[in-house]
Structure 1
Amino acid sequence: MEEFRDSLVEFLRNSYLNEIIEEEKEVTIDLNKLYLSGFMEVVEFIVNNPFDGLKFIEECYKEAYFILKSETLDEVKIKFKNIPKIFRGERFNIKDIGSKYINKLVEFEALIILASKRKPILKKAYYYCEKCGSSLKEEIDIFNFSEERVCKCGSIMKLIEDKSEFTDFQELKVQEPLDLLENPDEPPKYITVILENSPGIYAGRVRIVGVPIKIRKSKKLPVYDLVVKALSCEVLDGEVKIKLSKKDVEKIKKLAKRDDIIDILSDKLIPEIKGHSIIKKAIFLQQIKGVKKPGKRADIHILLITDPGIGKTVMLRKIAEIPGNIYGSITTATGVGLTAAVVKEKTEIGEESWVIKPGLLVKANKGTACIDELTVNRDILSYVLEAMESQTIHISKGGINAKLPAECSVLAACNPKYGRFDPDKSVSEQINIPAPLLSRFDLIFPLKDVPNKDEDREIAEYIVDLHRAYLDKEVSKKMGLEEFEVDGIKIDKDLLIKYIFYARALKPVISERAKELLINYYVNMRKKHQITARQIEAAIRIAEAHAKAKLKEEVDEEDVKVAINIITECLKEIAYDPEEGIYDIDKIVGMSRKDREKVEIVYNAIKELSKRNELVSYLSIVEMVKDKIKEEEIDSIIKRLIKYGDIDEPKPGRFRILE
């Protein structure tokens, strides 16, 4: 490599002038830029001999520094990025790392699934011989370390820690991002990454440039494990990047001109389920998201409460196929599997250490967490609330203090506790989700299985055709499962996903007329109905998503009307009081206003009667309130008062007030 030294020093001096002037201690060399600048042989040497190449680049950089600054640079950390595709192909993944890449330079994207606590590790050991006074300082191989060395005089040199050098060390277990899998049906491969000089990375998507090295796990067998020693670890923003051609954009713009394009695409987003058009539209808009602003989330949270047999798991798994989205079932995961776990676990280094295991909400950062069988224990409630509102999860345990990103939409589903959804009961009574968490959902939809002869026949026919379509291409084509045509444009899953990602990147601004419509909606609803500011926040997000889906620069009245319609359809199902003719938000998270008034009537009656007798009979309560409340309701109200601790029943049929 010596024949390239002078020209490389000159290149580094010119290309990294700012880094030299600013005296940066870490410098990242763009290998593709180096390759295109004529240093093909140098880059090839670095790729095939990364540690020697790293040392050579460091020497050249220090020379360039000396030429410019007229002083010696003691230490600089060189990192690499952008290995030319000629060496590793168009896309290099974890699955490609094998024995032929041992001690070669590789680059890949990955998702962190486990991260150890950051700890100091010996980098340069200082050995001293007490007999002859000789000393030795050398780089340490963490997999082949000894506290002693043999001196030239034959004596044992001892490690002197106070004179040795340490760096921050971390171990990561990473897996292939799901959107980069060639075959989505195959489980993602994973590998361990050894990260020195770590700033503390605990979650997210990263780009690793490093060297696969072998570790022998057993002295009895000549079998080795592979780990990657990272030379650099770049934390990415988590946003999945989808490549769109000029033709793709032309097709998307043409499709967006159709008035009914959102209805068409939302229906085909989940073709396995027939009907439920409003819910499908809401889920489609959820994937596009609102507009991100400081302190305001763009993500739309949706909860589906489904009667048995509706197909909630099919819906969630279908949405999880969109790049960046993650599916998980609470029946197969612990509560902390939603947020993040801090546990002690044996690592590749061979010792037990505190590690973070990012949960579903962290892994779905920038995408959608599709959560099946949602139920949340009280011990993790605060973490889930934080994740859904502020979109972060704070961890403080085992010496690890970290703030993990959880900027994702939540699409959750659960079954009613009593089998089928009852519109006369509050939502919180029917599911195992605490009221504070329920209030974080923008939309809550019950999917009810209501017998209807005509609809049942249509659904049965659709299900049978689905089964036929898997084996009959003509049926599949007729149903548009694999692809369908709109205005001469063939739309398959790939183009549908591209449409979503293209629309997601837009940032329409709310127009003055749309603003007035939103304000009037909120004010008018507040006059008659018990709604809160959360509903107008949800309306804004949905309206923005609708405008983005139509590729608009402004959120207009049409977008707001669609948002209001979706929210109204949702409230009709979960918060409408037919007797009062109003929407009552309290009915979602607890008792409706009407039920609360009835409870107060019974409680006040017991309180009044207890002034005459400490124990109040059931019959006397019925007699006192029968003009205001039906007798069949009184028993359940009394049971509710006992449950809440307002009264008790010391004798059968006799009640008293608990102060």
Structure 2
Amino acid sequence: MYQPTRASNKPKPTTSRPTRGPGPTCSSRHAALCLPAKNPPLIPLFPPFPRTFCRLPTAAPPLLSASHHLLAAATAVPITAAGMKNPDFAADKALAKDFLSNFAGPHGEPKYLNILQDVANRKIRAVQIELDDMFHYKDIDEEFLQRVTENTRRYIGVFAEAMDEIMPEPTEAYTVDEDRDILMTQRVDEGADGGADGTDPLQRMPPEIKRFFEVYIKTFSKATPLTIRQVKASNIGQLVKISGIVTRCSDVKPLMQVAVYTCEECGFEIYQEVTARVFMPLIECPSQRCKLNKAKGNLILQLRASKFLKFQEVKLQELAEHVPKGHIPRSLTAHLRGELTRKVAPGDVVEMSGIFLPMPYYGFRAMRAGLVADTYLEAMSVTHFKKKYEEYELKGDEQEQIDRLAEDGDIYSKLARSLAPEIFGHEDVKKALLLLLVGAPHRKLADGMKVRGDLHICMMGDPGVAKSQLLKHIINVAPRGVYTTGRGSSGVGLTAAVLKDPVTNEFVLEGGALVLADMGICAIDEFDKMEESDRTAIHEVMEQQTVSIAKAGITTSLNARTAILAAANPAWGRYDMRRTPAENINLPPALLSRFDLLWLILDRADMETDLEMARHVLHVHQNLESPALGFTPLEPSVLRAYISAARRVIPSVPRELEEYIATAYSSIRQEEAKSNAPTSYTTIRTLLSILRISIALARLRFSETVAQSDVDEALRLMQMSKYSLYSDDRQRSGLDAISDIYSILRDEAARTSSMDVRYAHALNLISRKGYSEAQLKECLEEYASLNVWQIHPSTFDIHFIDA
């Protein structure tokens, strides 16, 4: 084996003189691999592309590492498939120019010429060439497409050279404020006088430093994405599409593309194109003037004149449904450059297309490297499976569909019933979860204080009431969501951890589940199984919506603007009716008060309900769909579009409702004070919860103001969340529903010293207590037959005979 040296990458002398080009026994594929690499880097420390020679089978070529040979094969030398001709890059460049100049868009306009015009006018930087367009272009054959997909990095250079030649002149004035523009003007002036060696600086400049655009090749839109496990060694150098979830993103850092040096003696400008993550800087000036003067001028690296590109490293992990039985998820490193940076965040599920390449080793690691190489994906395009709410751009047909839905008077119920239609019942729970998705706008006061707008909901109930299924469905509908369990999550795993970066050896913050769910939803199952010390870590997140860290010399706050959806079981597994609600819930008041709704769901035996539920479950099991709901449930994509449009509305609370809301809050506090075993902890946060739920209801109606009906529905939901605590035949104070409604109406008549109660007012009163209109009508009929009151035949207003 030949060992590379620091100063030279020539092999040691051998008994037979090596010859350039393939030997007599080389196959055609071997010959393609053994051609010398073009434009080797200048004086690299350990050259990533070693110059190789083809020998007879008895003499092995010099080996630096397996990754270097793979990278050389994937980047510097085109690999030809069986039956394919050797590529003619000059002809392919001419074909690329013809395609860029003449390809027409759907409306007949020159698609890529218009893009290049925007590039010339400095409006955009990225030019994305789609393989779908090449496929539909009449002059491009399948062999050209195959060459592009199998040798993508080389053909990016071909298309970039073609764009250099057909780049139009700017048609709009733009501000010349970049250092590169000023330096290019200076170099043009120097070119008129000649450089230090009498040559034109523009001729010596690499094409990369003169370009102000980036070229990306996007794979076929209908191509089936591969899993990370399906990408093999045969895909090296090829354009592939991979699906996965982003688990880690590095900071965006500058990556040097072209290093520019200036000689201290003669002022000669030298350019060094950097093609790898590591390069060896030049030291001595190679100009003719320094050679004539026999001076070894030192070269100074000019950072302002050099060209840098934004660079970000991303870790992509297999989706859970793609992991085989008994295996753990695999990961792949992806490199994002230029305009592709900051396109993804941890927790995003994406399809990423790019070039699958080996990662070369450098330094002493390259000398000890074996035959195994690390790989990475050089990203060409990123597609999100679920867009964020603010990124939704409603098309014409989608806008019309949303307008039709908004005009439906029953849209609130239909949207709620479209959430997990396979789950029987829980209509009010689904309404609360719908409001969780919509939320309320965040408020920021003049002094900087922030009031959260996200709703927090905790579902506590007996086992088998579909709590976990509801959690997972909400995460599926939400554009951004993180699902975790209480037993498998620590306080650090929920908030943030301090880790050591393996590349820079610096301490960095790694966001936990709550940070990853920023501007989304964090679902925590088995909330009651968490350790108390871990559960207290989310107190700050639930109200201030930040995560404060003071570890390892890092003192900072991370945003965690997330809505928390928790599911828990009662303290003894099932709810014990013999114990008080506080004993069954077994959560500290400081945590309970932070939840806007604490929904208690009990599994009670009821003949009719159990029969309906059994029929529903059997129908879903047999037909793999929910029974008929009387309407077509909305798809998750339609739900996301509707919620996205609703979240753009910022309703306000009118002044005439302020007293009404204050009175309702005060009455809730008084009822809790009278109760021996309160079911919740009512604080001033409860008042803010009423406002948030009311605003979310107004958003669903696309209303700019909150109506009284919104406040009544918010109060009804807060009351219904405890409804299952009371038996079907006995309500709060031991009275049945009809007797309790009668007591409410009688107390209202006594309070107002009036014999009359309007029906609309009576309906508002009993709705706030958690009763329905059907129960009110039943009460009116029963007590009217007892001659307690009289009912108006048309308005249903109530007149007490003896109040």
TM-score of the superposed pair, with normalisation by structure 1? 0.61
Cα distance change on mapping 1:525 and 1:439 into 2, 3 Å: closer
Decide which moves more: 217-226 or 167-176.
217-226
Cα distance change on mapping 1:541 and 1:396 into 2, 3 Å: same
**Higher relative strand content:** 1
In the other structure, the counterpart of 2:520 is: 367
1:289 pairs with 2:442: no
The one-letter amino acid of 1:360's match is A
8 Å CA contact 1:62–1:72 kept in 2: the answer is no
Structure with higher RCO (Cα < 8 A, 6+ apart): 1
Cα distance change on mapping 1:244 and 1:231 into 2, 3 Å: closer
RMSD: 5.9
Question: Please, which of 690, 697, 710 is the counterpart of residue 559 of structure 1?
Answer: 710
Decide which moves more: 440-449 or 462-471.
462-471
Distance in 1, matches of 2:388 and 2:645, equals 18
C-alpha deviation, 1:273, in angstroms? 4.3
Q: Secondary structure at the match of 1:472?
A: helix
C-alpha deviation, 1:326, in angstroms? 3.2
C-alpha deviation, 1:339, in angstroms? 2.6
Distance in 1, matches of 2:215 and 2:689, equals 41
Q: How does 1:292-307 map to 2 (within 5 A)?
A: 292-294=442-444, 295-307=450-462
The one-letter amino acid of 2:460's match is I
The one-letter amino acid of 1:192's match is T
1:448 pairs with 2:551: no
Q: How does 1:245-256 map to 2 (within 5 A)?
A: 253-254=403-404
Cα distance change on mapping 1:354 and 1:138 into 2, 3 Å: farther
Cα distance change on mapping 1:392 and 1:274 into 2, 3 Å: same
1:89 pairs with 2:221: yes
Cα distance change on mapping 1:484 and 1:112 into 2, 3 Å: same
Distance in 2, matches of 1:509 and 1:462, equals 39
In the other structure, the counterpart of 1:192 is: 333
In the other structure, the counterpart of 2:118 is: 15
8 Å CA contact 1:171–1:193 kept in 2: the answer is yes
Question: Please, which of 619, 622, 626 is the counterpart of residue 469 of structure 1?
Answer: 619
Q: Secondary structure at the match of 2:527?
A: coil
In the other structure, the counterpart of 2:493 is: 337
In the other structure, the counterpart of 2:693 is: 542
Distance in 1, matches of 2:662 and 2:210, equals 58
C-alpha deviation, 1:442, in angstroms? 0.6
The one-letter amino acid of 2:358's match is K
Cα distance change on mapping 1:199 and 1:271 into 2, 3 Å: closer
Cα distance change on mapping 1:413 and 1:250 into 2, 3 Å: same
In the other structure, the counterpart of 2:378 is: 229
Instruction: Give the count of matched residue pairs.
Output: 543
C-alpha deviation, 1:303, in angstroms? 0.5
The one-letter amino acid of 2:333's match is T
Computing the radius of gyration from Cα coordinates, the structure with the larger value is: 2
C-alpha deviation, 1:443, in angstroms? 0.7
C-alpha deviation, 1:468, in angstroms? 3.0
Cα distance change on mapping 1:553 and 1:151 into 2, 3 Å: closer
Q: Give percent identity, aligned residues only.
A: 24
8 Å CA contact 1:31–1:80 kept in 2: the answer is no
8 Å CA contact 2:491–2:537 kept in 1: the answer is no
Q: Secondary structure at the match of 1:228?
A: strand
Distance in 2, matches of 1:91 and 1:297, equals 42
Distance in 2, matches of 1:250 and 1:491, equals 18
Question: Please, which of 622, 627, 633 is the counterpart of residue 491 of structure 1?
Answer: 633
Which structure 1 residue ranges, 5 or more long, are not aligned?
21-25, 129-133, 582-659
C-alpha deviation, 1:51, in angstroms? 5.0
8 Å CA contact 1:328–1:371 kept in 2: the answer is yes
Q: Secondary structure at the match of 2:389?
A: coil
Q: Secondary structure at the match of 2:628?
A: strand
8 Å CA contact 1:94–1:176 kept in 2: the answer is no
Q: Secondary structure at the match of 2:436?
A: helix
C-alpha deviation, 1:562, in angstroms? 0.5
Distance in 2, matches of 1:211 and 1:191, equals 12
C-alpha deviation, 1:500, in angstroms? 5.0
In the other structure, the counterpart of 2:156 is: 50
The one-letter amino acid of 1:191's match is L
Cα distance change on mapping 1:30 and 1:537 into 2, 3 Å: farther
Distance in 1, matches of 2:300 and 2:536, equals 43
C-alpha deviation, 1:302, in angstroms? 0.1
In the other structure, the counterpart of 2:567 is: 413
Distance in 2, matches of 1:430 and 1:123, equals 64
After superposition, the C-alpha distances for 1:196-220 in whole angstroms (9 at most, x for unaligned) are: 6878997465897864422379998
Cα distance change on mapping 1:117 and 1:82 into 2, 3 Å: closer
In the other structure, the counterpart of 2:315 is: 173
Which structure 2 residue ranges, 5 or more long, are not aligned?
1-92, 103-111, 188-208, 263-267, 287-295, 445-449, 674-681, 736-803
Q: How does 1:382-461 map to 2 (within 5 A)?
A: 384-394=538-548, 404-421=558-575, 433-450=587-604, 452=605, 455=606, 457-461=607-611
Distance in 1, matches of 2:608 and 2:354, equals 56
Cα distance change on mapping 1:108 and 1:95 into 2, 3 Å: closer
Cα distance change on mapping 1:262 and 1:89 into 2, 3 Å: same
In the other structure, the counterpart of 1:584 is: none
1:215 pairs with 2:366: no
After superposition, the C-alpha distances for 1:588-643 in whole angstroms (9 at most, x for unaligned) are: xxxxxxxxxxxxxxxxxxxxxxxxxxxxxxxxxxxxxxxxxxxxxxxxxxxxxxxx
Q: Secondary structure at the match of 1:491?
A: coil
Distance in 2, matches of 1:103 and 1:281, equals 51
C-alpha deviation, 1:287, in angstroms? 2.2
Distance in 2, matches of 1:258 and 1:204, equals 35
Question: Please, which of 230, 235, 246 is the counterpart of residue 112 of structure 1?
Answer: 246
C-alpha deviation, 1:571, in angstroms? 6.3
The one-letter amino acid of 1:326's match is V
Q: Secondary structure at the match of 1:411?
A: strand
